[in-house]
A and B are shown apart, each in its own frame.
Chain A
Amino acid sequence: MRTLRAVYACLVYLFLYLPLAVMVIYSFNDSRFSMAWKGFTLDWYAKLFGNTSLMQAALHSLVIAVLAATCSSILGTLIAMALHRWRFPSRKVIRTSLFVMMMSPDIVIGISLLVLFMALSLPLGFWTLLMAHVTLCVPFVAITVFGRLHGFDPHVVEAARDLGAGEYEVFRHVVLPMIFPAVLAGWFLSFTLSVDDVIISFFTTGPTFEVLPLRIYSMVRLGLKPEVNALCAIMILITVVAVTLSQRFLKEKQ
C-alpha cells in the first residue's frame, strides 16, 4: 500500500513536470525545425534578448505588475480594514461581492471591463490595463488581509482608542504593523496574478501597450518555436525562484 501510494504520487508529479522539463531541454537544442537533439546551444536565449519589441513587452508586463500589485495592496488593505472595523450599509454586499469577484471566470471580468471602458469611451492601453489588473487583484488582497485581521485580539485596537489614538493612528501604528505580512503576501499574489494574466489583458489593452503574455500568445498560436521555448524556460525559472523565496519568507514569519 505504501509503495502504491508513492508510485501514484510520482506519476502525478511526472505528469506535472515532464512537459515543462522537455520544453526547458529543447530550449537548448541546436535545431530550429526538428525535435531531435542536435547539440547544445544558447542561441535562442541570445536571440530572445536581442528582440527589442519582445523585451519591451516584458518591461511593460513588469511595470504593470508592480503598479497593479502596489495599488491593489493599498486598496485591498483599506477595504479589508473598513469591513473589519466599521459597520456601514452595504458592508455585507461588499464582502460577498469580493468573494464572488475572486471566483469569477477571467473572461467574465474581462468583457465586463471592456464594456465599461467602451461605455466611458476610454482608449484601450496602459491605463485601462492597469485598472483591469487592479480589479483582478483587489479581491485577493482584501480577502487575505481580512482573514489576518479576523485572527486578532480586538482589545489591542480598543486599548489604542482609549489611549486617545484616532482612527488613522490606530490604522497606521496598530493595525498595519500587525497585518503587514498579509499585505506583503497580497502584494506578491497580485504581482503573480498580473504577470500571468492572459484573458483579462486580451480584452483590456490595445496595440499601443503590448504585454508579455499576449505576445507569447500570438507567438504560440503560430506553433512551436525554439525562441518561445527559451522564453518559457526563463518564465519557469522566475516562477520557481519567486515561489521558493516566498515560501521561505512566509515560514520565517511564522
Chain B
Amino acid sequence: MSSDGFFKRAVIIGAVGWMTVFAFVPNILVFLASFGTTSTENFIEPAATLRNYARLMDRTHLDILLGSLRLSGLVTAICLLTAYPFASILARARKPVRNILLLLVVIPFWTNSLVRTYAMTAMLNSSGIVNNVLMSLGLIDAPLAMMYTPGAVVLGLTYTLLPFMILPLYAALERLDRRYLEAARDLGASPWRAFWRVVVPLTMPGIVSGCMLVFLPAIGMFYVSDVLGGAKAMLLGNFIRDQFLTTRDWPLGAAASVTLTALMGLMLLLYWKSAARLGREAS
C-alpha cells in the first residue's frame, strides 16, 4: 500500500510543482515586473509604481495599443464573416466529401505560419502574382505598392489565421441539431430570424472560441507585421518584443503583456459565460 500512496503522491506533487514553476511563477514575475523600474545594472528593479501603466496610456503608446486592437478586430471580423458561411457549407457536405474538404482546411492549419506569411509576400510583391495579373489584364499600368502597408498586414494575418476560425465554427455547426432550425421554421420564423435566434445562439461557444483564436494571436504575431508591414505597421506584439530585446525596457514590456493577458481573461470569461448559458438552456 505504501508504494501505492507513493505513486499517487509523486504524480500529484509533480503536476502541481511543474505548473507552479512553469505557469504560475513566470506570470507572477511578469506581473511584478510591470510595477518595477529599470536601472543600468538590472533589467528590472523591484518597485511598486504604476508608472509603466501610465506610460502605456500616453499618446504614442496608446496609439500603438489601440491601432493593434483595431487591426486585430478587423482581422477577426473578416475571418468570422468569411469562415461562418464556409464552415456551414462544410458541415452540410456529405460524409466522404466532407472528410476531404476538412483535410484541406487542416493542412493549412498545421502548415508553419511563417511559411504561409512568406508565401503571401510572393503574391503581394511589386513583381508578384497579383500585380502581374492586374497588369496583364490592363487594369493597372504600374505595379501597386501592396507590400509594407497596413493592408498587407491585415491580409497576411487573415491568411494565416483563417483556419483557426473555420475549425471551431465547423465543430459548433456540425454539432448543431437541425431539428431546432426546422422547429423554428415550422413555427413561422423567417430564415433570417431562425438564423439569428436559433443558429447563432447555439453556435455561440464556437464563435467566441474562433474569435479568441484569431484575435489574440493577431495582436502578438510580430513576424507577420515584420515581413509584410515593414517598420510601418506595428502590432502590440512588435512593441512588447522591442521592449524586451531592443529598448530593454522590461517593465514597460511587462505592463503591455499584462494588459494583453487581461484582455485574454476578459475573452475567456465571455466564452465560459456563453458555454454555461448554452448548458443551462439545454438542461
Contact = CB atoms under 8 A, between A and B. Distances in A.
A66 to B, nearest CB: 17
B220 A106 contact: yes
Contacts of B132: 35
Contacts, number: 219
A78 B19 CA distance: 12
A5 interface: yes
Given A19-B123, A199-B220, A166 B4 contact: yes
Contact of B8 (A86, A224, A228, A242): A86
Contacts of A108: 30, 220, 257, 260-261, 264
Given A17-B108, A105-B220, A196-B113, A23 B122 contact: yes
Contact of A112 (B27, B43, B127): B27
A90 interface: yes
A244 to B, nearest CB: 7
A199 B8 CA distance: 36
Interface in A197-242: 198-199, 202-203, 213, 216-217, 220-221, 223-224, 228-229, 232, 235-236, 239-240, 242
Given A115-B33, A213-B112, A217-B223, 20 more contacts: A15-B162, A17-B104, A22-B129, A35-B125, A35-B127, A94-B19, A100-B264, A104-B216, A104-B264, A113-B22, A114-B244, A116-B21, A116-B26, A118-B43, A138-B18, A167-B8, A216-B118, A221-B227, A235-B112, A243-B110
A52 to B, nearest CB: 22
A62 interface: no
Interface in B1-34: 1, 3-5, 7-8, 11-12, 14-16, 18-19, 21-27, 29-30, 33
Mostly, the A contact residues are: helix
A35 B163 CA distance: 28
A116 B89 CA distance: 46
Nearest to B83: A12
Counting chain A residues whose Cβ lies within 8 A of the other chain, the interface size class is 35 or more
Interface of B: 1, 3-5, 7-8, 11-12, 14-16, 18-19, 21-27, 29-30, 33, 43, 82, 85-86, 89-90, 99, 101, 103-108, 110-123, 125, 127-129, 132, 159, 162-163, 212-213, 216-217, 219-223, 226-227, 237, 240-241, 244-245, 250, 253-254, 257, 260-261, 264-265, 268
B219 A105 contact: yes
Interface of A: 5, 8-9, 12-13, 15-20, 22-23, 26, 34-35, 75, 78-79, 81-83, 86, 88, 90, 94, 97-101, 103-108, 111-116, 118-119, 131, 134-135, 138, 166-168, 171, 192, 195-196, 198-199, 202-203, 213, 216-217, 220-221, 223-224, 228-229, 232, 235-236, 239-240, 242-244, 247
Nearest to A12: B86
Contact of B22 (A34, A99, A131, A168): A131
Contact of A8 (B16, B86, B125, B213): B86
A86 B8 CA distance: 8
A166 B3 contact: yes
Contacts of A202: 241
A108 B34 CA distance: 13
Contact of A220 (B227, B253, B264, B268): B227
A60 B81 CA distance: 40
B7 to A, nearest CB: 4
Contact of B7 (A107, A167, A198): A167
Contact of A103 (B26, B127, B162, B216): B216
Contact of B86 (A9, A17, A243): A9
Sorted nearest first, the 7 A-B pairs with minimum C-beta distance are: A112-B26, A107-B220, A19-B119, A105-B220, A116-B26, A166-B4, A168-B7
Contacts of B237: 105, 107, 199
17 contacts: A12-B82, A23-B122, A35-B122, A82-B15, A97-B19, A107-B240, A107-B241, A115-B26, A115-B30, A134-B22, A166-B1, A167-B5, A199-B220, A213-B112, A217-B223, A232-B118, A247-B103
